[in-house]
Amino acid sequence: MNDRQAPVSVAILCPPLVALRITRAEMRQQLNYGIDSPSIIATELILSLVAFGVAARLPHLLGLPARWIGLIVGLYLLLGAFGMVYYSKVGKLKLRNRLLDSIPWRGGERALDVGCGRGLLLIGAAQRLTSGKAIGVDVWLRGAMSGNRPEAVLENALRAGVAERVEVLGGDARRLPFKDATFDIVAPNFVLHELKTGAEREKMSQEVVRVLKPGGRCYAPSSYASSCAGKRNRWRRSG
Ligand SMILES: C[S@@+](CC[C@H](N)C(=O)[O-])C[C@H]1O[C@@H](n2cnc3c(N)ncnc32)[C@H](O)[C@@H]1O
- State the pLDDT at residue 22: 41
Q: From CA 239, how far away is CA 234, in angstroms rounded?
A: 13
Pocket test for ligand 1, best of 141, 149, 186 (most atoms within 8 A of CB): 141
- State the pLDDT at residue 190: 86
- What are the φ and ψ backbone dihedral angles of 89, each rounded to 5 degrees? -95, -25
Pairing status of strand 133-138 against strand 7-12: unpaired
- State the pLDDT at residue 221: 61
Q: Percent helix, strand and coil across the chain, each rounded to 5?
A: 45, 20, 35
Q: Which helix (H) or strand (E) holds 18?
A: strand 18-23
- Kindly report the protein residue whose alpha carbon is nearest to atom 15 of ligand 1: 194
As for ligand 1, residues whose beta carbon falls within 6 Å of it are 33, 36, 92, 115-117, 120, 138-141, 144-145, 148, 172-174, 189-191, 194
Give me the numbers of helices (H) and strands (E) for the chain, helices first please.
8, 7
- Fold category of 7-27+105-234 in CATH: Rossmann fold (3.40.50)
Instruction: Please list the residues that pair with 175 across neighbouring strands.
Output: 172
Q: Where along the chain do its domains lie?
A: 7-27+105-234, 38-91
- State the pLDDT at residue 23: 43
- What are the φ and ψ backbone dihedral angles of 67, each rounded to 5 degrees? -60, -50
Q: Which helix (H) or strand (E) holds 43?
A: helix 38-57
- State the pLDDT at residue 60: 77
pTM of the model: 0.79
Query: Is-contact 115 195, C-beta < 8 A?
Result: no
Atom of ligand 1 nearest to the CA of 222: 8
Q: What's the CA-to-centroid distance between 153 and ligand 1, angstroms?
A: 12
Q: What is the pLDDT tens value at each position of the chain, 239 positions in all?
A: 443 433 333 333 333 333 334 444 444 547 899 999 999 999 999 999 999 998 888 877 777 788 889 999 999 999 999 999 999 998 888 889 989 999 999 999 999 999 999 999 999 999 999 999 999 999 999 999 999 999 999 999 999 999 999 999 999 999 999 999 999 999 998 888 889 899 999 999 899 999 999 999 898 765 444 444 444 444 555 54
